[in-house]
């Protein structure tokens, strides 16, 4: 969105951004901005309410090829309502590339329990190469947006 020059005085200001969808209602987010002398608005990074982390495996962790592997983490949306639970309706895990690209391996849809998720996989299927990147997508049931998290791992014998 563009704010016309002169519409807001120079200096720090707080604005409220409101999004509305007919099916899911309205959400608002305060945003701190700095107005330069010319009237240009520079917003600080607007953070999403969608949280996604990969807990296991850790960054560059060695995963044993001959053991069952597990990917685990946390996913929730801070903007959720009680009827939507934790506000995340899907967590998908891919290996070696973003979803839908050549070389990407679909490991599956993770099982969710409250705000945690987990997926069992077989590292031995991918041990012909040591270094891999996990691509994990969480989808908000509140807004439909997705968040992506990556984790580098090594499959070793």
pLDDT tens by residue, the chain, 157 residues: 445 555 666 666 666 666 655 566 666 666 666 665 544 444 444 457 899 999 998 888 888 877 778 999 999 999 888 877 899 999 999 999 999 999 899 999 999 999 999 999 999 888 788 898 999 999 999 899 999 999 998 888 8
Q: Are strands 11-21 and 50-56 parallel, antiparallel or unpaired?
A: unpaired
Task: Provide the whole-model pTM.
Answer: 0.68
Question: How large is the C-alpha radius of gyration of the chain?
Answer: 20
Supply the range of the domain harboring residue 20: 11-43
Q: Do 87 and 119 have their domain in common?
A: yes
Transcribe 53-102 into DSSP letters. Answer: EEEESPTTEEEETTS-EEEEEEEEETT--GGGTTSEEEEEEEESS-TTST
Domain count across the chain = 2
Cα 60-61-64 angle, rounded to 5 deg: 130
Note whether residue 3 is domain-resident.
Answer: no
Whether 75 contacts 52, CB under 8 Å: yes
CATH of residue 78: 2.60.40.10
Bridge partners of residue 70, in order along the sequence: 120
Note whether residue 140 is domain-resident.
Answer: yes
Note whether residue 5 is domain-resident.
Answer: no
């Amino acid at each position: 969105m563009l704010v016309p020059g002169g519409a807001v005085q120079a200096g720090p200001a707080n604005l409220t951004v409101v999004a509305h969808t007919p099916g899911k209602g309205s959400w608002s987010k305060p945003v701190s901005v700095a107005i330069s002398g010319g009237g240009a608005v520079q917003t600080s990074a607007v953070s999403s309410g969608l949280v996604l982390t990969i807990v296991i495996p850790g960054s560059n962790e060695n995963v044993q090829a001959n053991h069952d592997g597990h990917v685990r983490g946390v996913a929730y949306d801070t903007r959720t309502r009680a009827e939507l639970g934790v506000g995340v309706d899907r967590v998908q895990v891919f290996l070696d590339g973003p979803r839908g690209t050549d070389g990407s391996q679909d490991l599956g849809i993770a099982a969710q329990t409250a705000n945690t998720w987990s997926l069992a996989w077989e590292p031995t299927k991918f041990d012909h190469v040591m270094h891999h990147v996990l691509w994990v997508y969480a989808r908000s049931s509140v807004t439909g947006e997705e968040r992506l998290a990556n984790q580098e791992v090594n499959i070793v014998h």
